[in-house]
Structure 1
Amino acid sequence: MLPLGVLFLAVGISTALFNPFLALFLSTDVDAGPVKVTFFLIVAPLAGVLGSLLIGRLSDRGPIRRRLLIGGAVAGLIGTGLTAVVRDYWVLLALAVTAFALAGSLFPQSFAYARQVLERDDPARAPLGISALRTVFSLAWVAGPPLAAFLLHRGSFAWVYGAAALMYALAALVAIGWLDEVPAPAPVTADTPPDDRPDAPRWTLWLTAAAFTLLQTPLTLAVQALPLFIRTDLGGEVSDAGLLLGLCAALEIPLMLGLGVLATRPPLRGLLFAGAACGAAYYALVAVATDLWLLIGGQVLNALFIAAVSGLGISYMQNMLPRHPGRATTLFTNSFPLGAMLAGPLFGLAQHLDYRLAYWICTGLCVAGLVVLVVVRNERVPRPV
């Protein structure tokens, strides 16, 4: 787990360095207009989703996951290294749909690799291990944006992307020198015992992925609306939004570990359902709030929601396809960029009408996602002999 932890930390810091400032980079250093920036911010995540899906399917067909991790890290190194010096919009767009799209597979493939290692060494503690590694990624995002802001203050975006390239180089070195290849899961045949056969129909997989997309759309929509909601509806300062987000992150990390410990004892479904319900309760509380203190107290609910969905959702999806961890993890991780894209027009609607509407929409999305999860039994069900 130690090399995996280092790998997750390196990948997390690298993405946390440049992702939050991508629009600023395109607007200032590249001098791209609003239309070009919007086009870039739509095409880049779509390419990442498609690339991750293709690599996810490929990764489960043979013992190649370590090589895919190395390839993703090298692609990230090339992409960030070139972005540190290139300022041509179309060249950067080409890098976004090639090198950065391949580098985006590092996140799901790292979790898939971790799942196979945990299943081999200690299957009962697999959810705890996944939650612990997800916590490392969260810690990286606590450190990454402030580090990027410091580098921008002292230098330029060349420093930011140069530092990200160093992190990708570290991830590649860890994968090359510290990780062993894990065998591919055995294919299902007529001789496979019924209890070992995954029983997750395709429509179940897609409905579950849709449920997680519904649950993760509020993670982007609520954050986009928070500073404006606090300033216009609650009479607070924009800096209050930063304090709330920092408090949520501080609560989220121990809660994610705690839920991982609880997830070693079934049922995992109940914990995930409770987390989704906490999300609906939090966003409804924000929608009716008239004082900032209600939002401060509600961060416990918000942190529980994020910890459950982000920390346990991966294990939940992997339980559906135990012989295809790459595909399962990719289906889950792609729900966040898809949710982020859906959040864009919803934020525009709330901006036009009322910022409270954003939180009512978030409430509805959480309820809808929870209903889909409850209705669709999406964990592996052994077939009777």
Structure 2
Amino acid sequence: MLRDIFNIKNYPLFLVNMGFLGVAIAVTSPFLIIYMTEEYGISTTAFGLFLAAAALGSFIINTYVGRKSDHITFDRKYIIVAALVSMIIAFMGFVIFENLLIVIVSYILFASLGAPAMPQLYASARESINDYQPRLATFANTVLRSTFSLGFLIGPLIGTILLANFGFDGLFVGTSLFFVSVLILALLIKPRSKPPSERDDVQMNVSVSNQAPSLTKNMYIFLPFIAFIFLQMAMFMYNLNMPLYVTGTLGLDERNVGIIASLCAGLEVPFMIMVGYIAGRYSARNLLIVSGFFAIIYFTLIGTIQDFTWMLIGQVPLSIFLAIMLGLGISYFQELVPQFPGFASTLFANGMIVGQLLGNLLGGMLSDFAGVQSVFYLCTAAVIISMIILFITKPVVKEEAI
């Protein structure tokens, strides 16, 4: 199976692209809250509102692009390139501008415009997979997502080195350079073998498939979407407060933040590949429910025990949770609406965005008013709600490839 996926057109390029994209995002991710709170003196709640605004803008742009992208007459890679240019501008804004208001507006605007980069890269990969062998979709997507997670293993380490040697300006310039690398590689993606006329045969013959299904009117899509939002809420509430927990509650330096982030990402990769192998035997819904139990173990652990060693040990259940959720999430949505890879990938991305928006708002406010550790109990509650919703959702019936 592993050998087969490398016969998919552009697949090695998609792998490298996803890896570099993961690095680009992860270089700055653990340190942005430290930069904004220390350099500009904003509160955790204010930082949560800042990220929530960026998430809302990303949701709007993603939704629009996702619905239109399945009907475009030009190659998806040009959407990806335009989004990556926006991401470069978004992070260079931290270097160029000094005024807090300008920094905030610049990041929100350009990060929102850059949001389609990841879902459109997934959608482009899914089209190539479908052109080759659709039955490989779940495993191929999982390997792609594991490469993205590998970027999160390397990114925080690179971020730690950049921060130690060049300060925050070096951190943001380094992030921008990784986005430039992804942009250059995206330009090398070869167009699909099938022309638009062949691609749209279904649309020409079946009028009902011309438009992606409505999210709010179809419970088979809406319930998994809400469940995924709650899972993402838990993850983003944790991500927002983990650096503050390490540096504030445990009294350690920023280097340990990078160690935690990299360890989790490193463990995710082998777990994610294992998930790809077993995904064909069990439904994505059931595996997502199982992942919730591992999340509950971790969040309960760090909510009750203030010890860095136990936090390191806890990265095992956390990485299993993330491997299943992130490794199967994209495939789950693509199985729900297989005719619309752009729309499906956008559902996955928007679930992350809404989860980020709510997670940053709730995580920031609760941290300010009740302390960092209280956030981890809310993470546990969000996971339990998600598990209940998934339990009452009907599993997807996979179509066998001919």
User: TM-score band, normalised by the shorter chain?
Assistant: 0.7 to 0.9
- The one-letter amino acid paired with 1:19 is S
Shift of 1:176: 1.6
Question: 1:255 & 1:24 partners in 2: Cα distance?
Answer: 30
Range with bigger deviation, 368-377 or 306-315: 368-377
Match of 1:58 among 68, 87, 98: 68
Match of 2:178 among 164, 167, 173: 167
Range with bigger deviation, 253-262 or 274-283: 274-283
The answer on whether the counterparts of 2:53 and 2:357 sit within 8 Å (CA) in structure 1 is: no
Q: Show the counterpart of 2:341.
A: 325
- The one-letter amino acid paired with 1:175 is A
Q: Show the counterpart of 1:311.
A: 327
Q: Secondary structure at the match of 1:373?
A: helix
The answer on whether the counterparts of 1:279 and 1:363 sit within 8 Å (CA) in structure 2 is: yes
The 1:183/1:216 distance shift into structure 2, 3 A limit, reads farther
Match of 1:117 among 125, 128, 144: 128
Match of 1:277 among 279, 286, 293: 293
Shift of 1:198: 9.0
Q: Show the counterpart of 1:217.
A: 233
Q: Show the counterpart of 1:99.
A: 110
Shift of 1:260: 0.9
CA RMSD after TM alignment: 3.6
Question: 1:307 & 1:330 partners in 2: Cα distance?
Answer: 19
Question: 1:118 & 1:65 partners in 2: Cα distance?
Answer: 15
The superposition leaves residues 70-96 of structure 1 with CA deviations (integer Å, 9 ceiling, x where unpaired) of 211222234344543233334433432
Shift of 1:372: 0.9
The 1:153/1:352 distance shift into structure 2, 3 A limit, reads same
TM-score, length of structure 1 as denominator length: 0.83
Question: 1:173 & 1:266 partners in 2: Cα distance?
Answer: 38
Structure 2 residue 51 is matched with structure 1 residue 41 = yes
Structure 2 unaligned segments of length 5 or more: list them.
1-10
The superposition leaves residues 44-72 of structure 1 with CA deviations (integer Å, 9 ceiling, x where unpaired) of 22212211111111111124412211211
Once the two structures are superposed, the pairs formed by residues 1-385 of structure 1 within 5 Å of their partners are 1-26=11-36, 31=40, 33-34=42-43, 37=47, 39-63=49-73, 64-181=75-192, 186=200, 191-192=205-206, 202-225=218-241, 245-287=261-303, 297-343=313-359, 344-346=361-363, 348-349=365-366, 352-353=369-370, 357-377=374-394, 379=396
The 1:194/1:106 distance shift into structure 2, 3 A limit, reads closer
The answer on whether the counterparts of 2:268 and 2:319 sit within 8 Å (CA) in structure 1 is: yes
Question: 2:149 & 2:186 partners in 1: Cα distance?
Answer: 20
The 1:105/1:198 distance shift into structure 2, 3 A limit, reads closer
The 1:39/1:240 distance shift into structure 2, 3 A limit, reads closer
Q: Secondary structure at the match of 1:322?
A: coil
Shift of 1:6: 1.9
Q: Secondary structure at the match of 1:62?
A: coil
Structure 1 unaligned segments of length 5 or more: list them.
none
The answer on whether the counterparts of 2:33 and 2:240 sit within 8 Å (CA) in structure 1 is: no
- The one-letter amino acid paired with 1:42 is A
Question: 1:57 & 1:159 partners in 2: Cα distance?
Answer: 37
Number of matched pairs: 379
The 1:33/1:219 distance shift into structure 2, 3 A limit, reads closer
TM-score, length of structure 2 as denominator length: 0.80
Q: Secondary structure at the match of 1:155?
A: helix
Shift of 1:261: 1.5
Question: 1:290 & 1:92 partners in 2: Cα distance?
Answer: 35
The answer on whether the counterparts of 2:54 and 2:109 sit within 8 Å (CA) in structure 1 is: no
Range with bigger deviation, 48-57 or 329-338: 329-338
Question: 2:287 & 2:170 partners in 1: Cα distance?
Answer: 42
The 1:298/1:147 distance shift into structure 2, 3 A limit, reads closer
Question: 1:167 & 1:240 partners in 2: Cα distance?
Answer: 23
The answer on whether the counterparts of 2:86 and 2:114 sit within 8 Å (CA) in structure 1 is: yes
Q: Secondary structure at the match of 2:31?
A: helix
Range with bigger deviation, 177-186 or 151-160: 177-186
Q: Secondary structure at the match of 1:110?
A: helix
Question: 1:296 & 1:154 partners in 2: Cα distance?
Answer: 26
Q: Among the aligned pairs, what percent are the same residue?
A: 24
The 1:300/1:141 distance shift into structure 2, 3 A limit, reads closer
